[in-house]
Amino acid sequence: MGIPLEQLLQAIPFEQLLIQTVNGIVTGMILALVASGLTLIFGIMDVVNFAHGELFMLGAYVGVITLAATGNFWVALVVATLTIALLGAAIHVTTLRPLLGRDPLTTILATFGISLVLQNYALWQFGPVARKIQEPFTGHFTLFYLDYPWYRLVIALLSAAIIGALWLFLKFGTYGIWIRATTQDRVMAQAMGIPVPSVLTVVFAIGAGMAAASGVLFGPLVGVNHAMGLDWVLKAFIVVVVGGMGNLGGSIAASIFIGLMESYASLWVSPAQAVIFSFVVLILTLLFRPTGLFVPTPK
Amino acid sequence: MSARRVVVYWTAFSVILALLIVAPLVLPEFWRRFLTEILIWGLLAMSSDILIGYAGMVSFGHSAFFGLGMYGAAAALLLVKPPDLWLAILYGLIAAAGVAAFVAYFATRLRDIYFAITTLIFSQIFYVIIFTWTEVTGGENGLTFGRPALAIPGLFSVPFTSETLHWFVLAVVTASYLALRRITQSPFGMVLQSIRENEARTRAIGYPIERYKIAAVMLSGLFAGLAGVLYAIQNRFAAPDFVFFLISGEVVIFNVIGGIGTLVGPIVGAAFFLLLREGFSRFFTEYYLIPVGLIFIAMVIFMPQGLLGFMRRWLNQ
C-alpha cells in the first residue's frame, strides 16, 4: 500500500498491458461461449445447469480422443460438439424431462448430481494426468515487438461466429422461432402445436454442444483435466448473473468485461487471486443492479 | 396434537438417544469414529435445513460457515496456550458468525436460484482467500494442531478418548437439535415457514422479511460453524478442501436424501450418504461418487420427499 497510482502504472510496460488486453478479450470470448449456452438453458428452460462445466470438460476430452484418432483439429471440434450435444439430449430426456413443472430448484439438485457423476467418470476413464490438445496451427504475428499466436485470435473470432450463428438462428430460423415462442409462453406454444418437450431437449443439446465446442477451442491454451469444468462453471455463473439471467447480449458483454478485468488484475496479483476481482464485481452488481449490469433498468 | 403422539415422539427420541450413547461401548474403533463423523456432518446438514426446509432458501455456501468454524477453532488452538476447548468453540463461532453476517447481508437480497448461486460464489471467495493466503492459513496444506482436553474450568480436565469425544459430540448435536426444534416452532420459525410458503403475503402482513432472512442465515451459519469446530477437534486439522463448494453440495445432498424440513432427516441423510460412500468405495475405490450420484439423481426424480419426508408433519409437531 501507499504506492502512488502513476508509479504502479509505470511499473507495467505498455506492451504487457496491450498483450493482457488481447488475452482478456480472447478469454472473454471463450467465457462468452460457455456462458451463452448456460444462459440459453436458463432463460428458456428455467434450468440452472450445474453440469455445464462438466460438459465443457467432456467436450475437451472427446476432442483429445478424436484428435489422437484423426489428427485433424477441426474434425475433433465438430465431433466433440455433436457427441456432447447428443449426450446433452440424453441427459435432458432421462433426468430433466421428468422434473418439468417442478420447482426450478430441483433442477439445480439434479444437475449437481449429474456433474458429480460426469466428473468422476472422467477421472475414472482418463485418469488424473492432464492431457494436451495440439493447436491446429502455431503461427505468430508481431504485435508491438512481441510475438502473439494467431490461434488465440482465431478462437475469439470462432466463438463470436458461433454465438452470432446462434443469435441468427434464434431470430430468423423456424426452429429458433419455436424456441423463442416456448420461452414466452410454454402453454400457448404447446397449444399452437409446437412440441414443447422436444424443443426443450434441443435447447439443452445446443447449450451442451456450445460448452463442448468451447472446451475443445480452449484445450490448447490449458491442460485438459477432469476438474477443469469447476472453474469455468463458476465463472460462467458470475457472468450470467452480472450480465442478467437469460440475456444473451448481456452475457457476452459481461464475459468480455470479466475476461479483461481478470487479465489486468493478473498483472499485479497471481491468477488464482485475480478471481477475487470478479467476485467483487459480482457483489457490487448484486448490491446495485441485482437484475444484471447489462440490462435496462426495470421500470 | 394429541398427548399420545407426544409420548410416542419423546419415547422414540429417548430410545434413539440411548442407542447413540451406548453405541461407542459396543462398536469397534473404526465404526465409533464413523458414527461420530456422521453426527458432525448431520449437525452441518441440520443447520442447512433451517434455510432449505423451513425458510425455503437453498444455500450452496454452507462450506464457508463450516470451514470458517474449523479455521476459527484452529486459530484458538494454535495461538492460545494451553489449548482450550471452550475457547476453540468460541473462536469458531465468532468466525462463522462474521462470515454468516457478511453472506446474509448480500445474499438475502436475492431469491430462489439467485440465492443459491450467490451463496455458492461467496463460499468460493472464502475458499480462494484461504487457499492463497498461505502465511496465515497454511494454504493448500491447511493447519494441524493438537486436540484440547475435555475440561470444565475449575472442575476437571481429562484428555479426550474416542468414547468421550463421541459423547461430547452427541451432547452438542442433541442440544443443537433441541434448540433448533424449539426455534422452528417459535413465532420466529413460523414466520420463516410463512416466507417459504408465500413471501409476498408475509411481507403484506407486515413482517420485515429481510430481517427474518438475515437472522435465519446467521442462525444457520452459527450451527454450521459449530459443526466445523467439532470436525476440527475430531480430526485435528483444518484444510481448504472443507471450504470448497463440493462440501456445500454434499450438504444439500444430505438434506434431499434425508428429507428437508424435518431436522432429523438431514442427519439420517448424512448417515445414508456416508454409509453408501463407505460401501461403494470398497468396489469403486475413489470413484464412489458415480453410483452415489446416480442414486441421488434417482431420489431427486422419484423420491423428492427424501427418506423421512413421510414423517415430516409428525416430526414437526
What type of residue sits at position A106? T
Distance in angstroms (rounded) separating the CA atoms of residues A259 and A253: 10
How long, in residues, is chain A?
A: 299
Q: Locate the domains of chain A by residue range.
A: 15-288
Say if residue A1's pLDDT is above 50: no
Count the neighbouring beta carbons within 10 Å of the beta carbon of residue B209.
Answer: 20
Which member of B128, B294, B297 has the closest CB to residue A276?
B128
Residue A43 phi/psi, 5° resolution?
A: -65, -35
For strand B237-238 and strand A146-149, is the pairing parallel, antiparallel, or unpaired? unpaired
The candidate with the shortest Cα–Cα distance to B111, out of B184, B201, B245, B213, is B213
Distance in angstroms (rounded) separating the CA atoms of residues B131 and A273: 9
Provide block-wise average pLDDT over 10 residues at a time, chain B (317 residues): 77 84 80 87 90 85 89 83 80 89 83 80 84 76 75 72 82 90 88 86 87 90 91 84 85 85 86 85 76 85 77 71
Which member of B110, B290, B297 has the closest CB to residue A110?
B297
Judged by DSSP in three states, B62 sits in helix
CB contact under 8 A, A113 and B286: no
A282, three cell numbers:
459480482
Give contacts of B132 with chain A, Cβ < 8 Å: 270, 272-273
pLDDT for residue A74: 85
Cβ atoms A50, A182 nearer than 8 A: no
Q: Does B57 touch chain A (CB under 8 A)?
A: no
Alpha helices, DSSP H, located in chain B? 3-26, 29-49, 62-79, 85-107, 112-132, 134-137, 162-185, 187-197, 199-205, 209-235, 245-258, 264-284, 289-302, 312-315
| Cell 463461532 found at | B93
pLDDT for residue A299: 43
Say if residue A8's pLDDT is above 60: no
Residues whose CB falls within 8 Å of the CB of residue A213, separated by 6 or more in sequence, listed in order: A33, A59, A77, A80, A81, A162
Cβ atoms A250, A257 nearer than 8 A: no
First to last CA, chain A: 42
Give contacts of B117 with chain A, Cβ < 8 Å: 48, 237, 241
What type of residue sits at position B91? Y
B176, three cell numbers:
443443537
Which member of B110, B129, B300 has the closest CB to residue A109?
B300
DSSP secondary structure code for residue A295 in this structure: S
Give contacts of A275 with chain B, Cβ < 8 Å: 124, 128
The candidate with the shortest Cα–Cα distance to B48, out of B166, B165, B176, is B176
CA quadruple B14, B15, B20, B21: dihedral sign? positive
Q: Does A58 touch chain B (CB under 8 A)?
A: no
| Average confidence (pLDDT) over A122-151 | 74
The CATH class, in words, for B3-315 is mainly alpha
CB contact under 8 A, A290 and B120: no
CATH, domain A15-288, list 2.60.40, 3.40.50, 1.10.150, 1.10.3470: 1.10.3470
Question: Binning pLDDT at 50, 70 and 90, where does residue A12 land?
Answer: low
Q: Does A203 touch chain B (CB under 8 A)?
A: no
The candidate with the shortest Cα–Cα distance to B34, out of B290, B295, B273, is B273
CB contact under 8 A, B297 and A275: no
More confident of the two residues A7 and A156: A156
- CA A202 vs CA A85, A197, A205, B249: distances in Å: 9, 9, 5, 28
Q: Does B289 touch chain A (CB under 8 A)?
A: yes
Distance in angstroms (rounded) separating the CA atoms of residues B202 and B208: 9
pLDDT for residue B168: 85
| Cell 465468532 found at | B94
What type of residue sits at position A224? V
CA quadruple B205, B209, B215, B217: dihedral sign? positive
Angle, CA of B189, B194 and B196, to the nearest 5°: 100
- Cβ burial of B29 (10 Å; 0-12, 13-18, 19+) is exposed
pLDDT for residue A193: 83
In a mutagenesis test of the A interface, which of B120, B133, B297, B302 is the best target, namely the one with the most A β-carbons within 10 Å?
A: B297
Give CA A239 to chain center in angstroms. Answer: 9
- CA A118 vs CA A33, A115, B283, B292: distances in Å: 21, 5, 18, 12
Q: Does A238 touch chain B (CB under 8 A)?
A: yes
Q: To which H or E segment does residue A270 belong?
A: none
Which member of B125, B131, B301 has the closest CB to residue A95?
B301
Kindly report the nearest CA distance between residue A242 and chain B, in angstroms: 11
pLDDT for residue B210: 86
In tens, the pLDDT along A157-207 reads 888 888 888 888 888 888 888 888 887 788 888 888 888 888 888 888 988
Distance in angstroms (rounded) separating the CA atoms of residues B142 and A77: 40
Distance in angstroms (rounded) separating the CA atoms of residues B50 and A93: 33
Which member of B287, B289, B297 has the closest CB to residue A95?
B297
State the Cα torsion B287-B289-B292-B294 to the nearest 10°.
-100
Distance in angstroms (rounded) separating the CA atoms of residues B255 and B296: 11
Q: Does A101 touch chain B (CB under 8 A)?
A: no
More confident of the two residues A14 and B255: B255
pLDDT for residue B224: 92
Distance in angstroms (rounded) separating the CA atoms of residues A239 and A292: 9
Distance in angstroms (rounded) separating the CA atoms of residues A198 and A176: 13
In tens, the pLDDT along A21-68 reads 888 888 888 888 888 888 888 877 777 888 888 899 899 888 888 888
Give contacts of B131 with chain A, Cβ < 8 Å: 272
Question: Binning pLDDT at 50, 70 and 90, where does residue A296 land?
Answer: low
Q: Locate the domains of chain B by residue range.
A: 3-315
Cβ atoms B61, B123 nearer than 8 A: yes
Tally the C-alpha atoms within 13 A of residue B155's C-alpha that lie toward its C-beta.
4
pLDDT for residue A297: 53
